[in-house]
Chain A
Amino acid sequence: MDLSRRRFLQAAVLTAAAAGATAACGGGSASSGSKDSKNLTFWYWAGGLSDKVVADAKTHFSDITLKTSVVGGDFKTKLLTGLRAAQTAPDITGIKGEDIASFLPNANRFVDLNTVGAKKLTPDYLAWKLKQATTQDGKLIGFPIDIGPCATFYREDLFAKAGLPTDPVKVSAELSTWDDYFKVGVELHKAVPKTYLVNNIGSVFSMIVGQGTRRFIDEDNTFIGDQDHIRTAWTTAVKPYTLGIDAKINDNTWNAAIGNGTLGTELGAAWHALDISNAAPGTKGQWRVASLPGGASNLGGSFLAIPATSGNPEEAFKIISWILSPENQARGFTDAALFPTAPAAYKLPALTGGDAFFGGQKTIEIFGPAAEKIPAAYEAPADAAVSAPYYAELTSIEAKGKDPDQAWKDAVSQAKQIAQRQGVK
C-alpha cells in the first residue's frame, strides 16, 4: 500500500523522461515520421475486402511494407478524425458507399485518382458507380470495391412449409411487386406463426428509396424529402407493420433471429449474404435468392481512396488497382460476398458457379441482371444525414407504436431542419 520515496522518484523521472522522449519523437513524426514511401498504412473494416486478397497484396508488393488495420466501430467517424492530421491519416483507406457523398465536398483531402493512373482503367468499371465518387469538377476520389445490387433472401424450407413456391425463378415472379411480397408474407406468417416477413420496416424503406432516381436532395441542393416519391416509399414500407408481418428487430438480436427462423425473408444487397452466413452458419443450404420486389435497387458498395497526405500515392494506387482487378474482385465475391464493379469479372467461374450456402444456387442469375438495372440516382453530400430522421421515425413506429402519419410529419420536419443545418435549400 505504501509507495517508497525512492521508487516514486524513479517512476516520476522515468515517466518524465519517457514523456519528453515520446514528445520529441512525436514532434518529429508529425513532419516526416510515418509518411515515408515504403511503409503504407491501409484501413478498412471487417468484411470490407477479402482478407486473402489483402494478404496476397502484401506479398505481391514485396518492396512496400503494407500495414493493414481492420478498423472497428464507426468507420466514417474514425476516418474523419484520422484525416485531420497527417500522422494519423492512413495511406490507403476504404470509404463506405453511404459515406462517399459526404466526403465529396472535401475532395482536396484525397488524391485525385485520375492523376495517378485511374484514367486508363475507368472504362473497365461500372460508370454509374465511378460517378458516385466523382466531384462536379471531375476529380475521382474513390475506386469502387463493390456494388450492392439488392435481392430478396428467403428461407426455402419455410416457404415449402407454408406451401409457397420455392424455386428462385418462381419466387421472383411471385414477388414482382411490393404488394405481392407482403401477401406472401401474410401467408407465410399464417402457416408458420413464429416467422415474420421483414426484420424491420426501415430496411423496406431504404430498398424502395434506392429503386428511384431521386433521393432526399436534388442536384440543385434542394430538399425533396417531402415529395411523393419519398411519401410513397414511406406508405409502402409501413404496410408490413400494419399487416403484422414485421419482426421489428432493431438491435443485435437480428443475429439470433436470422438463425432461428424468426425471419422468413431478408432484403439486402449482395454483400449482405456474408452477414447472413456469419450470423447463422447453421442455416446453410436453407436460403435462396430471388429478385427484389418492385425493381432493382442498390445499397452500399464501397470504395478505396488515397488521402492527400499519403506517402506514396502512385504505389498506393497500384496496390488499389491490383486488389480491385477483375480476377481479385472475383475472389472477393467468393470470400466476402463483394459484388464486382468490373463487369469482366461477371463471366469468371467464381461468379458463375453455385453457392453452397444458397443450396448451390447460381446467385449471379439474380444479382447480374439486378446490377445492370440499377438506376443512377443523385446522392447529395448531406443525403445520409437528412435521411436519418425517416429511419428513426420508422423505428419509433415499431418501438413505441407511434402513429405512422404523425411519424411521417415529424420525420419531414426534422429532415427539413437537418437540411437547413447542413446548408441545403
Chain B
Amino acid sequence: MNGMNRTRLRGLGVHVILMAGVVISVFPFYWIVVMATNTSQDIYRYPPKLWFGDNLLTNLRHLFARMDFFGSLANTMIVAVCTTVLVLFFDSLAAFAFAKYEFPGKKFFFGVLLSMYILPTQLAIIPQYEIMVQLGWLGTLKALVVPAAANAFGIFWMRQYTSTSVPDELLDAARIEGAGFFRQYWHVVLPCVRPALAFLGIYTFIGAWNDYILPLVMLVNPDKLTLQVALAQLYAGHSTDYSMVMSGVLLSVIPLVLVFTFFARGFIADATKGALR
C-alpha cells in the first residue's frame, strides 16, 4: 500500500515536471495571442493583462496598413513550395541512383556530399550574392529557391530510405519488362518512398518558410520580401506598437504550428530517425 502510494506519487511528480516543460514550450504562443488581441497600452500597463482582449481586428488593420502582409505571405508560399518540390524531385532521383546502382565515381560523389554537408551557408553568401547580381536574380524569389534546391540532407535521407524500402525484386521485375532507369524511378521507386518524401517535404517546407539570412541579403526590393524579413523590419521600425507587431507574428506562426501539429506524430518519428542514422 505504502509502496504503491510512493510509486504513484513519483509518477505524479514526473507528470508535474513534464507538464511544466509543456507549459514553457507552449506559453509563448498563448502570450503572443494575448499581446495580439490587446492594445499596446494594455501590454505596457502594470499589472499587465493576462487574458485575450478584443483588439485583434484593430491591430490587424494597423498591421495591414504598415506592411504588405499578404504579398509577403504569397512570396513565402512560392519560395517554400517551389523549394520543396524541387528538393523532393532532385533528391529522390539522385537518391535512387546512389541507393540502387553502381557507377564509376559513385564513392567520390557521395564522399563530396558528406564532406560538404558541414559547410555553413554564411561561408558562401557573399559570392552567392555576387552571382545573383550577375544573373540578374537579385531581389527575385529565384535567388532563394535555386540555391536551396541543392539539399544534401535530402539525398542522404532519401538514399537511406530507398535502399531499405524499395524491394530489389520489384526493380528486377520492372527491368525484365524493359523499364529503363527513369521508368523504374517513376513506376517503382516513387510509390515506395512516399512516406520519406512526405517527411522531407515538410522538413524542407518549414526550413524554407523560416529562413532568414538568405532572404535578408537577397531580397533587396522592398516590395518583394518574405514574411520573416518583413516581420523583422516591421519590428525594427515600429517597436512601439507591440500589439500590432504581435498580430503579424501571430498570423505568421499559427498556420505553421497548426499544420505541424496535424502531421506531428509521423514527422517527429521520422525526424529522430534521421538524426539517429
Contacts and interface: CB of A to CB of B under 8 A. Distances in A.
A272 to B, nearest CB: 15
B236 A72 contact: yes
B136 A5 contact: no
A369 B214 CA distance: 48
Contacts of A11: 81, 85
B233 interface: yes
Contact of B142 (A5, A22, A46, A87): A22
B145 A19 contact: yes
B195 A1 contact: yes
A46 B81 CA distance: 32
A2 B195 contact: yes
A279 B240 CA distance: 6
A73 B237 contact: yes
A15 B85 contact: yes
Contacts of B240: 252, 255, 278-279
What DSSP secondary structure best describes chain B's contact surface?
A: helix
Interface in B207-258: 217, 220-223, 229-230, 232-234, 236-237, 239-240
A254 B180 CA distance: 68
A252 B40 CA distance: 14
Contact of B221 (A82, A255, A256, A278): A82
Contacts of B191: 5
A314 to B, nearest CB: 24
Contacts of B194: 2-3
A249 to B, nearest CB: 13
Contacts of B64: none
A373 B223 CA distance: 41
Nearest to B193: A3
B142 A19 contact: yes
Interface string B61-91: 0000001000000000000011001101100
A163 to B, nearest CB: 29
Contact of B222 (A23, A43, A255): A43
B223 A69 contact: yes
Contacts of B239: 252, 255
Contacts of B233: 72-73
10 nearest A-B residue pairs (beta carbon): A72-B233, A30-B136, A252-B239, A88-B139, A255-B240, A69-B222, A73-B233, A81-B220, A71-B222, A82-B220
Given A8-B88, A84-B133, 11 more contacts: A1-B266, A3-B88, A3-B198, A8-B89, A15-B85, A73-B232, A78-B220, A81-B217, A82-B139, A84-B220, A252-B240
23 contacts: A1-B263, A2-B194, A3-B194, A3-B197, A8-B89, A15-B86, A18-B82, A19-B146, A67-B223, A69-B222, A71-B222, A72-B67, A72-B222, A73-B229, A81-B138, A82-B220, A84-B220, A85-B138, A85-B139, A88-B138, A88-B139, A256-B44, A278-B240
